[in-house]
Structure 1
Amino acid sequence: MPPSTLPRHPHPLVLAVRLVMLALVGALVLLATGRAGQLWWVALLAAAALPAVLALGHPVLPRLSRAAEVVIVGLAASHLGSLVDSSGLAASAVLVYLAVPAAASTLQRRYNEGLLLLGGGVAVALVAAVFTEAGGGGREIAHLGYLAACLQWGVLIALGIFVTASVQQRTYGRGEDRPQPYAEATRLLTQLRGVARQLPGATLDPGGISEHLLEELRTVARADRAAVLSASGGGRLVVLAQTGVERVDWETTLDADSAIADAWASQQPQTAPRSQARSHPGGEVSALVVPLVAGVRTVGLVTLEADQAHAYPPPVVAQVTELTSPAALRLEAALLFDEVRSLATNEERQRLAREIHDGVAQELVMVGYGIDNALATLPEGAEQTAEELQTLRGEVTRVITELRLSLFELRSEVDRHGGLAAAIAEYARTVGASGGLRVHLSLDESTARLPAATEAELLRIAQEAVTNARKHAGATNLWVTCAIDPPYAQIEVSDDGHGIADQRPDGRYGLAIMAERAERIRGRLEIRPRRPSGTTVAVVVGTSPRRDTVRGSDTAGRRGDTRG
């Protein structure tokens, strides 16, 4: 580093510590020798310490300065020890200063350098003592007291270096090159991207992995009903996939008295002579619940049921466990990928909402205020200009309303306790009220929950359908129907407008986005005309096991009917 870039003033703490230590060494030298002339060693130490104090940022000078201090301490200890009979006391007077260069290196996390400086200082003191003894004219200085002083201060300072290093490693981690959180996250996400590109098919889809696992299990064990469940918020489980012709309301709470809860807690397969559903018609039943364990973490459960007694003997349990073991890691990777993608998506939606609110929305409000001021200051006789400004003011108000609805859509999320149907209903009521639509709601939702990623995509599809009906259909009524029985779900949004054929191009772009969202969660999107007028948008996830369709029986499909 050039001299011009060196600090103009010494660091106050470093300067204070060195001044205190130099004063202490001077006092000890006077006490041990009684000769003021020996203080020149203290002046020499001060001169050697200047580069370490004034050039803190230089890559070489501070190290050379600390090395010079160590050599001077060793020579001074040897010389002062030769002046008096009690050489141990005189040597200790300057050996205490070895703590300064060693501590300076340690505080910069150069632990090896600190130990090297300490060892070098003791070695210089001992070697210099030998030469002083050989040419000192009969004075014996390398006796036990001198050696004891060197070893004493060497051990004490080494212990200080060890304690300081231990504290620093606990506080900052090991070494200066410890990855920071964002750097570590970048490294892991980069690895995930590379691995995901090499995986065959849709192997990062939890639903697809679960369905494939159930198909494999049917080859080794009888299963009239089967499901794969995974953890969700609130201490509950969600159904990722299931097979069977009957509707099954699986026990999804982890504090219930069930084989499902026992398998989750024990991480061991559990068999039971009763169904794991909340309601079952009765009869002989055998149930097998196998935990999906990745490492030490339970990521899901496989539940099999057969309508016969003793359907799962130990050999069958062993075969099922053998198939589920490798599937656990695949499912965990898929769930983690879903979680990361959901976090990134939600963060981006919130960021866009903030940008719109703080940017375009505020500017449009100021434009509206400007139009109002212009209207207030128009001269008499400018009726045509006033009419044009009022039309422009109305258009600005309409755009601001659209932006506010967009902000509401961006910030809308499925509450972990309220559920998907409640989120869709709230959005439909809010948007319907702003557009003058009469909203008819039919909600039929199980207590079980869909996976968070599936709920989020279904909410966005419903939002787009409701928005299209308000903006493009010219409707007066809006019907929203939700039937949710995990892993099955069906959402329908119908209006009595002029139909989809006359919608604007941006409305058709919204339809394409809905189709992409449905494909992402392996759902089916259907857009059809409604009789006598209007459009129906329906999305279905999973297969409905022997139940009334949403558009079928009024007894089940309209029990939750509310009007807004």
Structure 2
Amino acid sequence: MAASPPVAPRPHPLAVAARFVMLALVALLTLIATRDPDRLWWIVVLLFLSIPGVVAPRHPVLAPAARFAEVVVVGLAASDVAAAASAVGSLGLGVGAEVILPYLAVPLTVAALQRRSREGAVLLGAAAGTLLASGAVTMTSGGPQIMQIGYLAVCAQWLILGGLGTFAADTLRRWMLVRETKPQPYAEATRLLTQLRSVARQLPGATLDPGGIAEHLLEELRAVAPADRAAVLTASGGGRLVVLAQSAMERVDWETTLDADSAIADAWASQQPATASRSQSRSHRGAEVSALVVPLVAGVRSIGLVVVESNTSLAYPAPVVAKVTSVTGPAALRLEAALLFDEVRSLATNEERQRLAREIHDGVAQELVMVGYGIDNALATLPEDAKETAEELRTLRGEVTRVITELRLSLFELRSEVDRHGGLAGAIAEYARTVGSAAGLRVHYTLDESTARLPAATEAELLRIAQEAITNARKHAGASNLWVTCEVDPPYARIEVTDDGQGMADKRPDGRYGLAIMNERAERIRGRLEIRPRNPSGTTVAVVLGASPRRDSVRDSGNALEGE
């Protein structure tokens, strides 16, 4: 099938109307100035030359040639009309030229709007040359009595106005082009998220895990720099850092504030490696220490820091620093991508939880409340002899009340978040207190949270695991007591929920789905889920993140003593 010929672009109706309005205005002014209808033949010529601009505004030859001819005709007509106006004594030569010069704006503006900046300059030059040449001829033939400087002044004025108009039209065109091509916020977000999804599918799963990238970076650094202690820290907001990964033989309490007098703060501010002769941890008291802090910079933004320390002096000369920076440079880009992906995922998850909470509250929760009111009204209108029906309605009312309570607890769970000021332990304690009060459980707390913080996405996952464990205990265990333990010592964390209920036997099949969800969340943050029976009854569900050598050594010692 033959291809259809391209459709010629049509001129904008407003542009056509503006052209003919300008022609009519110039014709009227010419008639008033000269009082001679014969002078309108210039207007007829301009009308004829405007036809290509109306019929074929984008023609590569006809349209520019017609605009050039229009400029030349305007230049010739200006001197002729000015001389005729001066002869009848209505206007001076300079003022008489003004009646037709405004038409110069038409071809100049069209050229600017069609992205023909060079053509606009040519048209201005042609207009200036034509005005000077025709003016010289007119002044010579007319004699010294019509030689007025006003003519030259008026021509110069309109040429300057034509140049300014051309510049303004070109600027307007560029602005309109930017407005047309600039994507809307949601369209841009869709494009970027689509690209992110494509990239995420092509990369291995662990590649977009900030903790995994940080641990891999520490492994790379072991091969190029001596280190007794090392850590990867990243920003968490509020002028503080969080520990993504660390390696050490003992517990290390790293400096996480950016306003302290430390090499960490200096490296973050300067985006340059910094060395120090004292440890960057608040728990180390060694004598001879060499510390090296290298910022992780992606583009122009600091996203984190790498700290390596050795118990020997002068452990990081310039060649070693160069090797470390050669490793941290590429890692910074990988870590930034993982942190951005984590943030996008957290934002999307939180938004979805809030949306579900709103829909449940405004939908099924309100409808159940109305059902409860209907049952109450039915009970109030029953006759006294319908005792059996009344008992059934009371049972139904109790069941509706129970479901409403469950929905309210689910709404509270969906809306619960970790406050960046209150901490993970506070969020878990608040949830356990609210749920325990609603379920009649006695809740016992053991909270031990460091001033250092875990990454926001990790805290959110730990909160959800704790919520699921508490919910399972409330719904399925038949417990009277609940023990909640929260230990946070970044990058180590341990959340433990214990009940004194019926245990994890087949009597609790409904809790298996919740356990699967908790296991998936633990794997997402590289933690491990532990489920074990409690003696004499009940179940303990714990999630452990990272490792704490000090805590593990204490626990191992306690287990050894129990074995003896």
TM-score by length of 2: 0.80
Change (3 A) 1:169 1:491: farther
After superposing the two structures, state which structure 1 stretch, 218-227 or 513-522, moved more: 218-227
Matching residue within 337, 345, 348 for 1:344: 348
Change (3 A) 1:429 1:48: farther
Matching residue within 92, 112, 128 for 2:98: 92
Q: Give 1:82's aligned residue.
A: 80
Structure 1 residues 36-185: aligned runs within 5 Å = 78-79=76-77, 81-85=79-83, 89-99=95-105, 110=113, 112=115, 152-163=157-168, 165-166=170-171, 169=174, 174=178, 176-185=180-189
After superposing the two structures, state which structure 1 stretch, 520-529 or 348-357, moved more: 348-357
Q: Give 2:417's aligned residue.
A: 413
Displacement of 1:204 after TM fit? 1.1
* Aligned 8 A contact 1:77 1:92 in 2: no
Output the amino acid matched with 2:518. Answer: M
Change (3 A) 1:332 1:81: same
Is structure 2 residue 328 aligned with structure 1 residue 324? yes
Is structure 2 residue 511 aligned with structure 1 residue 507? yes
Is structure 2 residue 279 aligned with structure 1 residue 275? yes
Could you tell me how far apart the structure 2 residues matched to 1:210 and 1:330 are?
10
Is structure 2 residue 500 aligned with structure 1 residue 496? yes
Displacement of 1:384 after TM fit? 2.2
Output the amino acid matched with 2:115. Answer: N
Matching residue within 421, 425, 431 for 2:429: 425
Task: Say which SS state the counterpart of residue 468 (structure 2) adopts.
Answer: helix
Displacement of 1:285 after TM fit? 1.7
Matching residue within 240, 246, 266 for 1:242: 246
* Aligned 8 A contact 2:39 2:81 in 1: no
* Aligned 8 A contact 1:119 1:154 in 2: no
Change (3 A) 1:392 1:123: farther
Q: Any idea what the Cα deviations from partners look like across 1:488-522, whole Å, max 9, x if unmatched?
A: 10000111111122455442111111100000000
After superposing the two structures, state which structure 1 stretch, 320-329 or 94-103, moved more: 94-103
Output the amino acid matched with 2:263. Answer: A
Could you tell me how far apart the structure 2 residues matched to 1:69 and 1:367 are?
78
Could you tell me how far apart the structure 2 residues matched to 1:370 and 1:117 are?
80
Change (3 A) 1:121 1:287: closer
Q: Any idea what the Cα deviations from partners look like across 1:209-252, whole Å, max 9, x if unmatched?
A: 11111111112222111110011111100000001121111000
Could you tell me how far apart the structure 2 residues matched to 1:101 and 1:418 are?
68
After superposing the two structures, state which structure 1 stretch, 198-207 or 115-124, moved more: 115-124
Could you tell me how far apart the structure 2 residues matched to 1:35 and 1:178 are?
53
* Aligned 8 A contact 1:101 1:114 in 2: no
Could you tell me how far apart the structure 2 residues matched to 1:414 and 1:256 are?
26
Task: Say which SS state the counterpart of residue 112 (structure 1) adopts.
Answer: coil
* Aligned 8 A contact 1:225 1:244 in 2: yes
* Aligned 8 A contact 1:496 1:535 in 2: yes
Corresponding pairs, count: 533
Could you tell me how far apart the structure 1 residues matched to 2:554 and 2:394 are?
46
Output the amino acid matched with 1:395. Answer: E
Could you tell me how far apart the structure 2 residues matched to 1:83 and 1:515 are?
92
Matching residue within 163, 168, 193 for 1:189: 193
Is structure 2 residue 220 aligned with structure 1 residue 222? no
* Aligned 8 A contact 1:78 1:126 in 2: no
Task: Say which SS state the counterpart of residue 441 (structure 1) adopts.
Answer: strand
Change (3 A) 1:521 1:28: same
Could you tell me how far apart the structure 1 residues matched to 2:117 and 2:29 are?
24
Percent same amino acid at aligned positions?
Answer: 70
Is structure 2 residue 439 aligned with structure 1 residue 435? yes
Q: Give 2:296's aligned residue.
A: 292
Displacement of 1:179 after TM fit? 2.2
After superposing the two structures, state which structure 1 stretch, 87-96 or 239-248, moved more: 87-96
Q: Give 2:389's aligned residue.
A: 385
Output the amino acid matched with 1:112. Answer: R
Could you tell me how far apart the structure 1 residues matched to 2:419 and 2:56 are?
56
Could you tell me how far apart the structure 1 residues matched to 2:68 and 2:414 are?
66
Could you tell me how far apart the structure 2 residues matched to 1:42 and 1:474 are?
99
After superposing the two structures, state which structure 1 stretch, 299-308 or 189-198, moved more: 189-198
Displacement of 1:309 after TM fit? 2.0
Displacement of 1:202 after TM fit? 1.0
Could you tell me how far apart the structure 2 residues matched to 1:390 and 1:38 are?
103
Displacement of 1:79 after TM fit? 4.7
Q: Give 2:538's aligned residue.
A: 534
Task: Say which SS state the counterpart of residue 446 (structure 2) adopts.
Answer: strand
Change (3 A) 1:288 1:122: closer
* Aligned 8 A contact 1:225 1:304 in 2: yes
Task: Say which SS state the counterpart of residue 232 (structure 1) adopts.
Answer: strand
Task: Say which SS state the counterpart of residue 93 (structure 1) adopts.
Answer: coil
After superposing the two structures, state which structure 1 stretch, 419-428 or 287-296, moved more: 287-296
Displacement of 1:387 after TM fit? 2.0
Could you tell me how far apart the structure 2 residues matched to 1:249 and 1:177 are?
52
Could you tell me how far apart the structure 1 residues matched to 2:122 and 2:301 are?
49
Q: Give 1:3's aligned residue.
A: none
Change (3 A) 1:270 1:261: same
Instruction: Calculate the aligned-residue CA RMSD, in Å.
Output: 4.5
Displacement of 1:279 after TM fit? 2.7
Could you tell me how far apart the structure 2 residues matched to 1:503 and 1:43 are?
100
Q: Any idea what the Cα deviations from partners look like across 1:112-155, whole Å, max 9, x if unmatched?
A: 27996997799799989999x99xxx9999x9988986675354
Is structure 2 residue 460 aligned with structure 1 residue 456? yes
Is structure 2 residue 297 aligned with structure 1 residue 307? no
Output the amino acid matched with 1:33. Answer: T
Could you tell me how far apart the structure 2 residues matched to 1:549 and 1:442 are?
20
Could you tell me how far apart the structure 1 residues matched to 2:234 and 2:191 are?
28
Change (3 A) 1:269 1:129: closer
Displacement of 1:206 after TM fit? 0.9
TM-score by length of 1: 0.80
Could you tell me how far apart the structure 1 residues matched to 2:101 and 2:193 are?
53
After superposing the two structures, state which structure 1 stretch, 436-445 or 283-292, moved more: 283-292
Could you tell me how far apart the structure 2 residues matched to 1:100 and 1:365 are?
71
Task: Say which SS state the counterpart of residue 505 (structure 2) adopts.
Answer: helix
Displacement of 1:547 after TM fit? 2.0
Change (3 A) 1:44 1:261: same
Output the amino acid matched with 2:375. Answer: I
Displacement of 1:368 after TM fit? 2.0
Displacement of 1:318 after TM fit? 2.0
Change (3 A) 1:144 1:419: same
Output the amino acid matched with 2:346. Answer: S
